[in-house]
Structure 1
Amino acid sequence: MALALTASADFAIDKPAGEPCPNLKDDFRCGIHSRLRDGGFPGCTVYDCFGAGQKVTQVTYGGRDWRQAVDSGAQMFEVFSVVRLLHELLWYLTEALELAPPLHGELRRAIVDTERLTLGSPKSLADLDVLAHRARINDLLLRTSELVRAGVSDTPINHRGADLMGAKLRGADLRGADLRSAYLIAADLRQADLTAADLIGADLRDTDVRGADLARSIFLTQMQLNATRGDASTTLPHRLTRPPHWS
């Protein structure tokens, strides 16, 4: 309901935000869940709300859903987008806590503050300047990244925000690389070494990571990984699971 779909390689249809997907059943389940990829909806198999949907429905709205409270539906969808971003920040902060002992105090405070915000009322969440909060957290995540990547490579690569769509990077030494928000759509990263590479916000749709070393890359999410093409020889961080569609 809450999300908009755009007809593309990821979704077979256009769907405005706030309108139900035609595949949504009365019991809130997906009518084509077992064949989403074959049915033209691979984007649905990639998506991850970081637990925000459960938080909003079960905690923020106490178990009510948009069908039971039609008048609050629009607000619920707005609140969901805020809580999803907060939960994504919590994912990164929790990982940063493992990576950067010198920043533990600041990271713990940021986690507490962010978790507190997720528990706010619907109105407080709808009114929250979540982008300002993200900017504050991003500064802390940047400092974490710099600590982790320092000294990993003699010639660290800065590809922050770079257009690397379809790039031929097979076997590349990307240790300690800054790949924040880089466009790596359909790039060839087979057998590449991404140790300590910062992948926060990188677009990895259809990226070929077969045989790539992702075990110690940083700020990689399950949603990003789900969008890639990998195999049994791809090494992963301990917090992520191998996507079922990989060969």
Structure 2
Amino acid sequence: MFINRKTHYLSNSLFCASGIHLLANLILFIARKLIRSKNASRPDMLNSRILMSQFIVSSLMLLVMAFVFVSKWRALKKSLSVVEESDKLKMAVLQQEVMGSSVPTLSGDAIIQLLELWGVILVGVRLVYDISSIVYRKFILNLTELADYTKELREQYVMIYNSSHGFKYISLLVALLLGLFMTGICLKDRLLKAMALLLISFFLISFVLLGMQTVTVGDYRIGIVWSSLIFHFTETFGLLGLGIYLRRRYVGV
């Protein structure tokens, strides 16, 4: 059985997820600026206030994200429940005959499966990511206890911190790209599958080879960790782009 072609449950959910991530990152950016420690050479995760702000924002983000996907899932389930399970196949055949080429690309059940997939990734795997970030912070704290804060050791420590930054993101990024790849499989879309492989390749190259690059803008030196940049781009503009692509290319998705 197919649903109303104007509902767009999946793409709307991805739009919401992108907006939630973008807002959360903006709030954390402002929080870091306001409460950053005076010792700029030390990582933000050594600042307990920044850690608390990250915990609060992440918790709220998980709750809102769960609400979005659960509400969309329930709404879609309700739409499908108007027809008995035994009659859904007959209804799908009738819809294809009547609607022709304007019939939605995926059945309601297929969209439910994709909603469940992305919900697990953006809520469940995100929770695992937050827990692993706490463990990563403990690892960084243990490193700081091994060295006195001379200038040379501090610089070496910062290099270690920056070069290992990708460990924080790799689990969630792989889950996001797996979701993209599985969506491509469901839709038989080679472009989505190719994009997933391309992004993970870029991430691995940046993680292994690039490390942190320093850019001077005016009187300021800005450190760019490419693995972090790719991750945050994927969870914000990547999801937004995916939602736009699905809505424009596929009917009712």
TM-score normalized by the length of structure 2? 0.26
Structure number with greater Rg is 2
Q: Which has the higher contact order (CA 8 A, sep 6+)?
A: 2
- Richer in helix (by share): 2
